[in-house]
Amino acid sequence: MRKYNLIATATFGLEAVVARELRELGYEDLQVENARVLFTGTERDIARCNLWLRSADRVLLKTAEFKAVTFEELFQGTLAVNWEDYIPQNGRMHVVGKSVKSTLFSVPDCQAIVKKAVVEKMKKKYRVKWFKEDGPDYKIEVALLKDVVTLTIDTSGLGLHKRGYRKTAGEAPLKETLAAAMVLLSRWRPERLLVDPFCGSGTILIEAALTGKNIAPGLYRSFAAEKWPFIPTDVWRSAREEAYAQVNKEDFFLLGYDRDGRVLQKARANAERAGVERYVDFHRQPFSAFRSSKKYGCVVTNPPYGERSSEKKEVEEIYREMGKKFSPLATWSFFILTPHPFFQTLFGKRADKNRKLYNGRIKCFYYHYFGPLPRKRRRKNGITGETK
């Protein structure tokens, strides 16, 4: 199979998480840059990465990279690409773009020039003057950074956060990819109790359940590249069969609490659509009632932010209460995402570690409070028990 230059895009702050996922999938010689990880792979890898990456935003196929400070250089650099290797005669093409610190700062003009160059190259190949564009989708991106042009084609289509289990638009501000990254950064393992005391529509817990069961997050959705002629359909079929075969038999228990009964109905429906409803238990409960006698639990949560001034005092009181409720749980670990600049003061304890992340356009910090890990457990005859 042919090797391609691929890019897994990432939200700022999650590049290392995406790189770790790629390494665990067996990819080496990664190049980690701001908001993206570069690697190489075949058609099979395009399918695997779209199916398996939990924290990446998209998988792009890089077709060219060159310097351009004039529109003519942009046109000629684009024209030099063998677009016919990727796009059939009836391919439906549209061009998006961005420009950062570049001489060519007009994004609409850059998009128009790239589209013109692609069409000119296609005319020469197919010897036609007009294209129907009634075939599969090809979203081409022209990205300029300090006068360096990167041309890519989006293999994913809808962003990878669109797993398919969340049906109501705008029901939760936390993207599935960010929720998955929070779980991956938490050191959680299926043998530990995981709790989200502000679970909302259940995104964090559902992503944890998918991870715990080793269910590929893209298993139940489609991708743009599935309809591309140069990628055989059996590549996607075998990638999905492999993913189905890798779902494990782990059994575990996740708990979600929220004071809003209506949003919990959505959470239960989301968990059912994701196929993990038996592993997540949702309860209507205000945080003031939170308590546990369990040991070695793990809290991963995205508590209220209080962006409106009328909510600020209420949210700050919640943060103080979190410190009081969590303090007796000496063996637990806590992972909390919030934009509040004085969260640690309100919580009453300095975090062991924090990481700057973006929830949409909101700059947040992901605070890590590490508790002791439980003793390793070994599996014997399918039964899990503590190691003596």
Q: Please state the three-class secondary structure of 316-329 as a single string.
A: HHHHHHHHHHHCCC
Task: Classify residue 166: in a domain, yes or no.
Answer: no
Query: How high is the pLDDT of residue 381?
Result: 42
Average pLDDT over the chain, rounded to an integer = 93
> Is residue 91's pLDDT more than 70?
yes
Query: How high is the pLDDT of residue 256?
Result: 98
Task: Classify residue 221: in a domain, yes or no.
Answer: no
* In a shared domain, residues 333 and 369: yes
> Is residue 83's pLDDT more than 60?
yes
* In a shared domain, residues 68 and 190: no
Task: Classify residue 339: in a domain, yes or no.
Answer: yes
pLDDT tens digits along 276-290? 999 999 999 999 999
CATH for 202: 3.40.50.150
* In a shared domain, residues 303 and 350: yes
Quote the CA–CA distance of 286 and 166 in Å, as a whole number: 24
Average pLDDT over residues 159-170: 84
* In a shared domain, residues 24 and 100: yes
Task: Classify residue 167: in a domain, yes or no.
Answer: no
Please work out, in degrees rounded to the nearest 5, the angle formed at the alpha carbon of residue 220 by the alpha carbons of 244 and 192. 65
* In a shared domain, residues 63 and 130: yes
Q: What are the E-state strand segments in 31-80?
A: 31-33, 36-41, 58-67
Query: How high is the pLDDT of residue 1?
Result: 82
Quote the CA–CA distance of 224 and 39 in Å, as a whole number: 20
Task: Classify residue 163: in a domain, yes or no.
Answer: no
Task: Classify residue 235: in a domain, yes or no.
Answer: no
> Is residue 308's pLDDT more than 80?
no
> Is residue 377's pLDDT more than 70?
no
Average pLDDT over residues 332-352: 97
Query: How high is the pLDDT of residue 206?
Result: 98
Bridge partners, 281 (sequence order) = 255
Domain stops at, among 123, 154, 185: 154
pLDDT tens digits along 2-12? 999 999 999 99
Query: How high is the pLDDT of residue 36?
Result: 97
Percent of the chain with pLDDT over 70: 95
Higher pLDDT, 123 or 379: 123
For the chain, how many structural domains are there in total?
2
* In a shared domain, residues 104 and 207: no
CATH for 57: 3.30.2130.30
Quote the CA–CA distance of 271 and 181 in Å, as a whole number: 18
pLDDT tens digits along 238-259? 999 999 999 999 999 999 999 9
* In a shared domain, residues 106 and 180: no
pLDDT tens digits along 107-155? 999 999 999 999 999 999 888 888 888 899 999 999 999 999 999 999 9
Average pLDDT over residues 75-90: 96
* In a shared domain, residues 37 and 99: yes
* In a shared domain, residues 42 and 135: yes
Task: Classify residue 218: in a domain, yes or no.
Answer: no
> Is residue 342's pLDDT more than 60?
yes
Q: Which amino acid is at 225?
A: A
* In a shared domain, residues 89 and 194: no
* In a shared domain, residues 62 and 189: no
Task: Classify residue 352: in a domain, yes or no.
Answer: yes
Bridge-based pairing of strands 36-41 and 58-67 is unpaired
Residue appearing with tokens 């016919």: 84
**109: containing domain:** 4-154
Q: What's 201's DSSP letter?
A: T
* In a shared domain, residues 196 and 335: yes
378 — pLDDT class (breaks 50, 70, 90): low
